[in-house]
């Protein structure tokens, strides 16, 4: 039996979501000012990332996609080193050579960030197979979106994971948009979880904007993967509030749709629950907001002060 978020956990999850939102909004702001290259954000999807990552153990491995900042920060990545990486500075996690789209953090178990849509699905099976052959503990968690689920790699990965009995927790962050195309234009169904059934893989869809619900569902799913040694697909039904890539004016999005999902913002919803149950006061909320903004300001200053990699390091640790 899995447990829901404890009395003390929800405030911690809320702070993580605030930090992720502040980090990505700083990137948007700095990108508009020409200080930081444009990138893909996951604004609006914070509850999905925080809920799943907090359900994992230290030995679990993560493969993620081009919207990886939330996964990395929830896993404990330092915002300063992340910003340094995005800005191409030597203090970044990959010495400034990956940008925002290829960050890996070995010490946190983040095997890779893939900018190729669906590529992490192809690689997750190999990582899980290697874990088993090497006798290493931990399950493999693969984050992808509804766009990747419409590619052949999704079906090939699920089929192989099922046939080979691989301990993979597939996490589809169904955010409704596939670059500049709405999910309705590429899928006959609303839910990706339905597609796991033909591969004999159990699946569940959860409200991806409710961090407590995601945490509970992810704990149950991870427990099932550990017990069975077989794959599970968890779909977090959420929404990408910003465009595909910064800058993006989202002129192609129906304003009514954006307003409807804005009313379900995961951070505002979590704040309301905390305030309503007395687990957070208005003054504590304001202090938390100041705390994360200060941390992001320090992170940006750290990144800006970091030097660019030396020319002599151009090909070091570059494999392709």
> Are 169 and 139 a contacting pair, CB within 8 Å?
yes
What pTM was computed for the model?
Answer: 0.96
pLDDT along the chain (320 residues), means of 10: 72 98 96 89 97 98 97 98 96 93 95 94 98 96 97 98 98 97 95 97 98 98 98 98 92 96 98 96 98 98 96 84
Return the half-sphere exposure (C-beta side, CA atoms, 13 A cut-off) of residue 220.
Answer: 16
Q: What angle do CA 266, 15, 137 make, to 5 degrees?
A: 95
Whole-angstrom distance, CA of residue 60 vs CA of residue 67: 20
Whole-angstrom distance, CA of residue 80 vs CA of residue 295: 9
Report the pLDDT value the prediction gives residue 4, as an integer from 0 to 100: 64
The Cβ of residue 313 has, within 10 Å, a number of other Cβ atoms equal to 14
Report the pLDDT value the prediction gives residue 320, as an integer from 0 to 100: 67
Report the pLDDT value the prediction gives residue 3, as an integer from 0 to 100: 66
- Cα dist. 221→3, 10, 57, 212, 242 in Å? 12, 20, 13, 14, 29
Radius of gyration of the chain (CA): 19
Report the pLDDT value the prediction gives residue 170, as an integer from 0 to 100: 98
Which residues have C-beta within 8 Å of that of residue 320, sequence separation ≥ 6? none
**Which residues on adjacent β-strands are paired with residue 236?**
173, 206
Q: What is the dihedral of CA 223, 228, 231, 232, to 10 degrees?
A: -40
* DSSP-assigned letter for residue 80: H
């Amino acid at each position: 039996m899995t447990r829901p978020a404890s009395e003390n956990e929800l405030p911690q999850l809320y702070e993580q979501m605030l930090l992720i939102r502040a980090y990505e909004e700083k990137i948007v702001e700095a990108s508009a000012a020409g200080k930081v290259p444009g990138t893909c954000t996951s604004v609006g999807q914070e509850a999905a990332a925080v809920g799943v990552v907090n359900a994992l153990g230290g030995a679990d491995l993560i493969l993620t996609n081009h919207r990886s900042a939330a996964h990395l920060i929830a896993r404990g990545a330092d915002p300063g080193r992340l910003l340094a990486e995005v800005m191409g500075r030597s203090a970044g996690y990959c010495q400034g050579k990956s940008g925002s789209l290829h960050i890996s953090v070995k010490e946190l178990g983040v095997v890779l960030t893939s900018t190729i849509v669906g590529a992490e699905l192809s690689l997750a099976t190999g990582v899980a197979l290697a874990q088993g052959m090497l006798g290493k503990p931990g399950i493999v968690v693969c984050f992808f979106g509804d766009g990747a689920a419409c590619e052949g790699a999704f079906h090939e990965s699920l089929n192989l994971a099922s046939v080979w009995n691989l301990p993979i927790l597939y996490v589809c962050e169904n955010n409704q948009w596939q670059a500049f195309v709405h999910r309705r234009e590429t899928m006959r169904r609303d839910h990706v979880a339905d597609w796991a059934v033909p591969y004999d893989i159990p699946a569940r869809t959860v409200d991806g904007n409710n961090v407590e619900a995601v945490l509970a569902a992810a704990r149950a799913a991870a427990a099932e993967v550990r017990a069975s040694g077989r794959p599970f697909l968890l779909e977090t039904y959420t929404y990408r509030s910003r465009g595909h890539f910064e800058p993006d004016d989202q002129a192609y999005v129906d304003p009514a749709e954006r307003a409807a999902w804005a009313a379900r913002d995961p951070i505002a919803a979590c704040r309301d629950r905390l305030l309503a149950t007395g687990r957070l006061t208005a003054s504590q909320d304001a202090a938390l907001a100041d705390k994360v903004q200060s941390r992001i300001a320090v992170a940006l200053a750290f990144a800006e002060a970091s030097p660019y990699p030396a020319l002599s390091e151009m090909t070091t640790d570059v494999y392709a």
